[in-house]
Chains A and B, each alone.
Chain A
């Protein structure tokens, strides 16, 4: 039964994508709601069953077992990511509905919906995939759709950002594909679990690892390859920015962790991770400093993505030091990524709500805005709490685990960078809030923020705090099929 549920999670958004291509406006909204809630329900069930049975699940497709056919692979990590994606995606769907408003009822913007559902399907497919080539195909769908969505405003800036993004994403995929080809050549299989069993360090293996990691580093916008991300994420329409920063980068971060701890696990115990750690550290500092000097809220949030993704790599050098610490890093990074996805989406949606009412997002002109739209800034602040990594949030737990691992292994430089990153994050969040919280003389009656926008933003902003308070459940789910067992 779970096998059927798992397929449902991929198929329903695809069917929704096809149906929304043909529906009128009323019908489309019905389809969106039904599809969104169905996927949400199915992922809840999947997460529940996985957590309950504590078994990983291999789902054979086309009736052919692993080396010949493709398998889907469901463990706690996949289940948790599916659930997070579903919650975020449903919120974005409702947000986008209100955000585009009448503009999306007819004309070219109606094609946003089929694109959007296709991305959702591909995201689910990616989190479930147990095959390195299948990962490539799903990643490609996500990226091409993301490119099209970035170009959606059809302005010069957005088109240039989209083209930049396309070139770099294409290059990243090619690098990844080359790595996959070399893996297949030397091991004769594409299945992740089989590859993990066969892997041993030799020339082709290292080459494959380098190519695959370069490809994924480009897509996660790691430091020297990050330049495409801020313009693409900031110039897209808000629901798309949220999707990109919240989910699309999460997908490539997930791939790095998934492949890094299975197929490339032997390499993770070599000093090569140091290089990734250094780049991650630079990304944290560079991204944070740039976020601090931006003039637009969306640009702040976009640069913050560069910084936050740096943490994923920052903690990797600790893995060398031993299994217990590696487990801490694994849990810490994953929890961090998941909370970041929620918080970042919330931050972008807050910025979008602001644009919807103020028609701009220039920080300098936002003075006093918080007294007109308190809910929006509260949501932004709560998301900010997670981005900084302050205590009640899930981001804090993730960072805390990483920090502990770093301290235990005596990597003081990494500790310093992590703390500096958090302080800088506090800087860029409070800068925006500080200006907004000033009292202004402007007594014009403000346009109230639409309820649907505020509500979805609020839900996503509260989520990381909940993840911080009730962390038991997600951690026990993550432990299902984890390479390290339960958290020590």
Chain B
């Protein structure tokens, strides 16, 4: 086993202190900024631990989209909401005490567990994964795991994203979002978006394609597409369709539905559910990945648009109602 180098120790200390910053900083706005940095440093440590797929996903999704959502959530915190932000959830003393006891318990067992787990490293599934890799239709083992060996999990996971969008629909007020005038939105930003969005879509396509043989895949590409969508929304909100419209809805379920259809097809031809015969595996995986990328990208854009509702970003720069956080 490789011994840890000073740079490893430094990275771990950095991660821990950033986490402390996120949780401890008195100013929630700064907490969120540190959280984004924390996500990026986490991505660095994924790379260090030979998990570049995760690094991409974390940077794009964990730090990127979720970070932006956090920022928007804070930005929406106006005068009257300050009280709400510090409002206690119903946590009685019993819970807190039991929580503390729990931590003590976990620390005790954790010390035991981590150390003995380290003494007897598990066998893992490295060998079987690589042995059958040539049958999976892709050469990136992580893609093989999530879209072939354990495709059922990923199918349900796409279901989770679909579910979040459904929840947002179910809680949105019925009237359609109104956009007063496009003049409010920054022209610079718009021309920037015009230039950069094609690049982002191109990069998403590349990530999707590359997922078969190197780090990348549907989730990373979807997050990139989501970023492009958010940028479009920022620069020209009127352009964005109402996500509840037919076309948007169709695209939202595309990933989930394509899994269903291919799974049923596989069963009709006498295979197991979600089994890809090895000569068709590449095409099947590419199909569900493309559909999922579209769905993920649109879901993320939709989430952003619904969290941001009413306050469309650059406009607030000039509105004067917002306080500096």
Contacts and interface: CB of A to CB of B under 8 A. Distances in A.
Contact between chain A and chain B defined by CB under 8 Å: yes
Nearest to A63: B275
A118 B166 contact: yes
Given A61-B275, A63-B272, A206 B153 contact: no
Contact of A18 (B90, B156, B257): B257
B241 to A, nearest CB: 16
Interface string A43-63: 000000000000000011111
B273 A108 contact: no
State the majority secondary structure of interface residues on B. Answer: helix
Contact of B117 (A7, A167, A186, A210): A186
A83 to B, nearest CB: 21
Given A114-B166, A224-B95, A188 B256 contact: no
A231 B272 CA distance: 43
Given A61-B275, A70-B152, A164-B89, A207 B112 contact: yes
B273 A61 contact: yes
Q: Which of B106, B249, B273 has the most CB of A within 10 A?
A: B273
Given A118-B163, A214-B102, A64 B149 contact: yes
Interface string B93-128: 011001000100110011011011100111111001
A125 interface: yes
Nearest to B274: A62
B253 A69 contact: no
B264 interface: yes
A108 B169 contact: yes
A145 interface: yes
A202 interface: yes
A11 B122 contact: no
Interface stretch (B1-9, B170-178, B228-236, B315-323): B170-178
B171 to A, nearest CB: 6
A4 interface: yes
Nearest to B273: A7
A366 B259 CA distance: 51
Interface string A187-210: 111000000000000111011101
Given A18-B257, A163-B89, A141 B156 contact: yes
A144 B152 contact: no
B152 A134 contact: yes
Contact of A148 (B170, B256, B272): B170
B117 A185 contact: yes
Interface in A133-191: 133-134, 137-138, 140-141, 144-145, 147-149, 151-152, 154, 160, 163-164, 167, 182, 184-189
A112 B295 CA distance: 20
Q: Which of B128, B164, B170, B172 has the most CB of A within 10 A?
A: B170
A67 B163 contact: no
Contacts of B264: 11
Given A115-B166, A154-B171, A227 B151 contact: no
A141 B153 contact: no
A189 B150 CA distance: 12
A18 B124 contact: no
Contacts of A231: 90
A459 interface: no
A312 B106 CA distance: 24
A151 B276 CA distance: 39
B292 interface: no
A293 interface: no
Nearest to B96: A224
Contacts of A202: 116
A21 B159 contact: no
Contacts of A206: 109, 112-113
Contacts of A125: 156
Contacts of B256: 14, 18
B249 A21 contact: yes
Contacts of A167: 89
B122 to A, nearest CB: 5
B17 interface: no
A109 B174 CA distance: 9
A224 B260 contact: no
A204 B117 contact: yes
The 6 closest A-B pairs by CB, nearest first: A148-B167, A207-B113, A63-B275, A203-B116, A111-B170, A224-B98
14 contacts: A18-B257, A62-B149, A62-B151, A63-B272, A70-B153, A107-B174, A112-B170, A137-B157, A141-B156, A145-B167, A149-B170, A160-B89, A203-B115, A228-B90
Interface of A: 3-4, 7, 11, 14-15, 18, 21-22, 59-64, 67-70, 107-109, 111-112, 114-115, 118, 121-122, 125, 133-134, 137-138, 140-141, 144-145, 147-149, 151-152, 154, 160, 163-164, 167, 182, 184-189, 202-204, 206-208, 210-211, 214, 224-225, 227-228, 231
